[in-house]
Amino acid sequence: MPTRDPLPAILGGMDIYLIDQIQRERIQPTQRVLDAGCGGGRNLHYLLKAGYVVYGMDPNPERVEAVQALARRLQPRLPEEHFQAGTLEANGFPDQVADVVLCNAVLHFARDTEHFEAMLAGAWRLLAPDGILFVRLASNIGIETAVQPLGQGRFRLPDGSDRYLVDADTLRAISERWGAELLDPIKTTVVDGMRSMTTWVLRKPSALQ
């Protein structure tokens, strides 16, 4: 009888693009990792099991409770205050609390451009100098003519969902404005012409710069 593949049990549903960052040793066990929009903890399961100092945030208190329960099981030494209900623009975490901020499928829920900028500023506030901001978000890259503008940066996608969308020029302009290092080329996956997801990975400038 074939042996069951242990990877799902180890990785816990972690985003494949985040796995790529860990495999390339960009995210180390010595770093503090904050998942902004942690949901039920799919991207935290492996990190908790591997002993990372982890923080989590989600606007849904029930999801935060689920992640606290996961942390109690996998890494009971972590204080429960590491997991809080909140949003990027309004939360109780101190400035520069993390060396890595994960922002996976969060920013495209912005209500408008002002909200998008506030969310981004919140993520940047939480990140320590030399830290890494890992972002996965919806974009119009590769489906520019297939999306319907709704105003204020929001669009209706061919799959019927409404999202705040960015383009590559916007991401590059933000990176330049922040003086951030773009660690990878901007990478985009277009899913059957229905939606487009982009990976954007930045390093925050050193405090000495």
Domain boundary assignment for the chain? 7-203
> Left if phi > 0, otherwise alpha if psi is -120 to 50, otherwise beta: which for 135?
beta
2-12 tens-digit pLDDT: 555 566 666 66
40 contacts: CB under 8 Å, gap ≥ 6: 63, 66, 67, 70
pLDDT tens sequence for the chain (209 residues): 455 556 666 666 788 899 899 999 999 999 999 999 999 898 999 999 989 999 999 999 999 999 999 999 999 999 999 999 999 999 999 999 999 999 999 999 999 999 999 999 999 999 999 999 999 999 999 999 999 999 999 999 999 999 999 999 999 999 999 999 999 999 999 999 999 999 999 999 987 55
- Cα–Cα distance measured from residue 100 to residue 127, given in angstroms and rounded to the nearest whole number: 7
Helix ranges restricted to H, 86-128: 113-126
- What is the pTM (predicted TM-score) of this model? 0.92
**What is residue 108's predicted lDDT score, i.e. its pLDDT?**
97
- Cα–Cα distance measured from residue 206 to residue 168, given in angstroms and rounded to the nearest whole number: 24
Indicate the CATH number for domain 7-203.
Answer: 3.40.50.150
**What is residue 100's predicted lDDT score, i.e. its pLDDT?**
98
- Cα–Cα distance measured from residue 156 to residue 163, given in angstroms and rounded to the nearest whole number: 7
